[in-house]
Structure 1
Amino acid sequence: MAQGYHAAAMDDIAERAGVSKPVLYQHFPGKLDLYLALLDQHCESLIQAVRNALASTTDNKQRVRATMDAYFAYVEDDGGAFRLVFESDLTNEPAVRERVDRVTNECAEAICEVIAEDTGLSRAESMLLASGLGGLAQVVARAWLNSDRSVPRDQAVQLLTSLAWRGIAGFPLHGSDQNHETPRRSAEGGSQG
């Protein structure tokens, strides 16, 4: 299904898998069922990679780097699994959309937990920052891959880490007495600089 859902035929899929078409249909009643099973597997792979990156250290700068690298590793995988998740030609199918949204949300949730715990920001604020970091990682990793990897992966990860770290490092650790540049809420609910 590397060439897309609509272009893939069950005969071709069976041949590439090294099984007969009847065997394939014993396990997957239709092409959509097979696609969803593959999508579930590849979504879980990215979610787990992000969780592992976040758990790999307690040094937040290294957490940012490990998380960025997890996205780069995911898009660089020779199997092209990321295309099923992020470049599907079937995103209007509700079951596919649900899975794509799930991977984005669960990666952001994992990042959000660390941000909220470390900064003391509200869950909503932490989720916005986490969504931004996850989106940044995903989009830049895909752009890097599409640029024929003209910048070596380690260097690309370091560049993105520097960009992300300079932003997120502005939020001090919860309980520290460092000043930061986040907007304070005014009495009217607006923000001040």
Structure 2
Amino acid sequence: MNMKNIAWVTAPLALSAGVIWLSAQTPTPAEGIKVGDLADKVQVREKAVLQKETELRQMEERLATLQGTLERDRADLQNREKTLAEGMAKLEALRTRPPIDSQLIRTYEQMNPISAAPALKELAALNQEVAVSLLAGMQAKKAAKILDQLASQDNPAKDAKLAAVLSEKVGITRPKA
């Protein structure tokens, strides 16, 4: 055999021996980390991620519940504000009274309370706001005498109620000193 043939036979044998020797060696990671340790770390991380996802879902549910409560409270507050605004508008409407001619006020003040009471009763039947404005413009003592006579008219229960309603409205509409 010549040299050329020997080289052709030994070269593949040497390569095969090198491959077998390399495959028999235990591979070592480049940084010295073992695969088992990496697997353990990955499992720990997966558990932590699952726990965080669970906590996140629970927090989202709580947030949705709180958001619903907030929306209900907001709607309730808006309803209360609306009711308050309507009440304030009604109160302001009660406080504003129609202007009454001062001559009419003086006329009622100069009338005998026995005669003024039925006239005031009829006026209240026609327009209660005008009657309230008239009483509010009068001197307190004279208005009191007329209301006293009004309460003791034909139907004391009904007339006393009318006197009370007129007095209440005068009290509401009279500006504070």
Q: Shared fold by TM > 0.5?
A: no
TM-score by length of 1: 0.27
TM-score by length of 2: 0.29
Greater relative contact order, per chain length (Cα 8 Å cut-off, separation 6+): 1
More helix as a share of residues: 2
